[in-house]
Amino acid sequence: MGRKNVQDELQDKCGIVGIYSYEESVDVASWIYSGLYTLQHRGQESAGISVLKEGRINTHVGMGLVSDVFDKDLIDILNGNVGIGHVRYSTTGESLVENCQPFVEHEDDIIIAFAHNGDFVNSKLLREDLMASGYEFRSTTDSEVICHMIIDEYNKTKDAINAIQNTCQKLIGSYSFVAVINGVLYAVRDPLGMKPLSLGRSEDFVVVASETVAFDSLDIEYERSIEPGEILEINGKIEKSHKMPTPDHTANCMFEYLYFARPDSIIFDKSVYEVRLNVGKRLAQEYPIDADVVIAVPDSSIPATLAYSRASGIPYAEGLIKNRYVGRTFIMPTQKDRDTAVKLKMNTVGSVLKDKRVIVIDDSVVRGTTSKTIIKMIRDAGAKEVHLLIGCPEIISPCYYGIAMATKEELLAVDRTNEEIRDLIGVDSIGYISIEGLVESIGTPRKDLCLGCITEEYPTIIPPELYGKKE
């Protein structure tokens, strides 16, 4: 799957929040706003909130950051004690207001608001089936496909749990979603547990969110992860857990640990920060380098860099400073523009780098274009040697489950040796963490992780197989 983002970064699809207040008179929109604000790193294209009040779903969505889409007046009129929220970065569907979530549908017997994180690989076929049955689509996202499927199944059974179960049986891929159906909040994870979704609560309300940092902002306790294949039904203080058939393993996305999740989050019941420290410690074991200073490509690789410094004894310093007022995405027409975009986002500290042997640690390298620009900046700042260490093994294949990365032909590590990559990026040496080192750093058995982009071994059928095409 291609992408327009010219920075050499990975993007996850979305962040989701669902909240149910036990008091009907209490409005949850401001709490959902706070939760989405802490999940802003998971998507900056659009944001939306839906709340239920007296049988009616009130919704507002818009393009941009959470703080751009909502103000106090909007939050005040979004009345209701149960609701969901969403921040988006597109992997399927263009960056248009029509693709903003939550999706809301009203029919005779069902009122649904729906928000989704992930991608499923058979969405095209399922969309075609729904269109043949008379369903109309206003968006180009796979999320709306699930929403219509739930409605279609509900019309057959008049039971929300059966509708969700029957829908999920047809989905191939990754999904965590929240939905309000006829006033009841549902939280669902796919049977392989690819995307994170957690549960927290206080005396006054219950929250589900992509990451536990949303709970911290609301000052509530993290309770547990929603289980793979679980449908959690929340209707006031009455909660029921329903299980779908699950395989004997999971497929947790390893990039959630390395890049997407905030370091202060707990995902898949593990501390992201601790995993990143483990990655840095492992890099120090696998790549002992004689150097003067070790620096991070901010922000996600900072914990790994700190751990490398501690394990190696090489001083840590901030050799690259990030401009946090520059967004994650740029669409630039020329290479000169793209280089300028990187320099707008990152700048070097000459006193840290001049005449030094420098180790640079990054969380991942996809195309290599940004890495090449950053290394040139470090060289221009006077570094004597530059060694690049990567906290992710070589990416050799696309992702089909909600990570927008380059096509296989564009991936830096495809059909290149490490020596060729070293020369192309312009470093004195380059080292990727081993797959075994990554798995041990995460602390989850290899069979329970999705490593498809670094092994080409996917946990489900993938589009080239599904549609009979070659990659």
Which residues carry out catalysis?
A: 14
Cβ atoms of 34 and 70 closer than 8 Å: no
Q: Kindly state the DSSP code that residue 434 receives in the 8-state scheme.
A: P
Strand partners, 239: 234
Nearest to 88 by CA among 144, 15, 32: 15
In this structure, how many other beta carbons lie within 10 angstroms of the beta carbon of residue 461?
Answer: 13
Nearest to 278 by CA among 438, 435, 432, 430: 438
Cβ atoms of 435 and 441 closer than 8 Å: no
Around 113, how many Cα atoms within 13 Å sit in the side-chain half-sphere?
Answer: 29
Nearest to 272 by CA among 286, 284, 261: 261
| Spatial distance between the Cα atoms of 42 and 213, rounded to a whole number of angstroms | 12
Helix, strand, coil tally for the chain in percent (to 5) = 35, 25, 40
| Spatial distance between the Cα atoms of 441 and 257, rounded to a whole number of angstroms | 10
Nearest to 82 by CA among 7, 183, 219: 183
